[in-house]
Structures are given as structure tokens and as C-alpha cells.
Amino acid sequence: MFALVGANIDPGGPSLLLMAVSRSATLGPSARPVAVPADLEQGPKADGLVRLPSHIRWSGADLTYDLDDPSDRARVYEQVLREGTEEDVRFFVRPDRLLEHWSTMVLPAYVRVAWGESIARLRLRR
């Protein structure tokens, strides 16, 4: 359903500005893809002090996080799991540390669902 917000008659012809007045089931944060790499253990891993790329931390001040600090690490993992690519997840997230933080991290339900099978497999390997 759309509502007419405005109309503008210009030399090129009329143009209408429509705005959605109801939420679509196919749009919104839960419709975004969640990166869940099958090879999470592969590749180099970030450690120490890190700054997240702007496509992950796209709002707010640029911050430095200490991956040796459990609280900072949890905040990095939350942001990377929500916003990162598979490459980002491989680089910033260590499987053993992910399991340590999994139950206390603040994540949307759609991210937890997407990661469900991977978390179960990681727990079996412990």
C-alpha cells in the first residue's frame, strides 16, 4: 500500500512521490544476508587493537577496540556478525571466542537463526 506524498508538474511530465505505508515482509533488516563462512577457521585473524571498516561500523564515531578485552571483543563480534562480509567474519572472529560470547551477545534473531547450525557444529568440535 502506498500513499501519495506529493506531486510535481514539470516540463518533462508529471512526477509523483509515493511512500510505503505498510512494511513489506521482504524488506528490512531481517531480509539482509548474513555472512556465515563455512571455513571460519581459515585465514589470518585480527588481534590486539582494531578499527572496524566503515561498511561494518557505519554510524557513530570511529572507535578502536581491543580484541584482548572480552567486552570489546563481544562488541566487535556483534557488529561483524550483523554487518560484515564472509571475509570480515573470517578475519575478525575466532571460533573458540565466538562460542565463549555466543549466549551473551546482543544479536537480532535473524542473525542467531543464520548462525544456528554453525554454532552447533562448533560446539560439537570442542
Segment 88-117, tens digit of pLDDT: 999 999 999 999 999 999 999 999 999 999
Instruction: Judge whether residue 47 has pLDDT over 90.
Output: yes
pTM of the model: 0.77
Backbone angles phi, psi at 107, to 5 degrees: -135, 145
Lowest-confidence region among 5-9, 26-30, 72-76: 5-9
Question: Residue 73 class from Cβ within 10 Å (0-12 exposed, 13-18 middle, 19+ buried)?
Answer: buried
pLDDT tens, position by position, 15-40: 555 555 555 566 666 677 899 999 99
- Distant-in-sequence, close-in-space partners of 37: CB < 8 Å, separation ≥ 6: 86, 89, 90
**Domain range list for the chain:** 32-125
